[in-house]
Amino acid sequence: MKRKISIAALGLLLLLYVKVSCAEYSMMMDAMLPIGYDNVGYGNMFSSPGFGAGVSKAIYIQQGYQKIDLRADISYLNWHDKKDYVDWSYTRIPLFLGLRFFMIPNWPVFYVEGGLERTSVKSHYFYTGPLYGKSTSGFSNSHSGSDSGIVPGLGMEFEINKNILFGINARAHLAHDMYGTFYLSVGYKF
């Protein structure tokens, strides 16, 4: 599975440099504010706001009316909570490589996206309560690993001026540990 994802990621990165005849191109870099939704710890909850950055290469087909973005981004998400006797934290760092397909130009511009993801996952908890009816000074446990999967999503872009874009995006991360994210972004197109 790792090999397939690596080959797909390499193929997508190579596509960033492929030129299609009769097409226009633009690049965009953006800063993202992600919020994750996951069933971690004691039930469903949202993460604290994280941060992220991305890059897109747009290909405009048919005289600028249809647009496909080749997209790569990375984010940082963290969940933290303390309930009863347990203090826990959960961190995800997803790397996304995919495509965005834009609808007929409008304001705002709607798109659907899909891609592959490789996520670094780390969890930690510290228990400070009684154990089998006896007091304890506490114990902790940590786990780290990675997860791969596919990511469908949808979103909107608002063009503020020729170079500045504002975006809203939602993604479902379909992997072993499934979760969702909501993104706000500000991008610069050049």
CATH code of residue 53: 2.40.160.20
CA 144, CA 120: separation in Å to the nearest integer?
8
pLDDT the model gives residue 22: 40
> Using an 8 Å Cβ cutoff, are 3 and 9 in contact?
no
In sign, the C-alpha dihedral spanning 39, 41, 43, 49 is negative
Whole-model pTM? 0.76
20 — pLDDT class (breaks 50, 70, 90)? very low
pLDDT tens figures, 117-147: 999 988 887 877 776 666 666 777 788 889 8
146 lies in which domain range? 2-189
Per-residue confidence (pLDDT) for residue 95, from 0 to 100? 93
DSSP string, 48-64: EEEEEEEEEEEEEETTT
**Number of structural domains, the chain?**
1
**pLDDT, position 37:** 84
pLDDT for position 67: 77
Q: Read off the pLDDT of each residue in 70-86 and give the average, rounded to a whole number.
A: 84
Which tokens sit at 104? 């007929």
Q: Yes or no: say if 117 and 150 are a contact pair by the CB < 8 Å rule.
A: yes
Joined tokens for residue 62: 């048919």
**pLDDT at residue 21 in the model:** 41
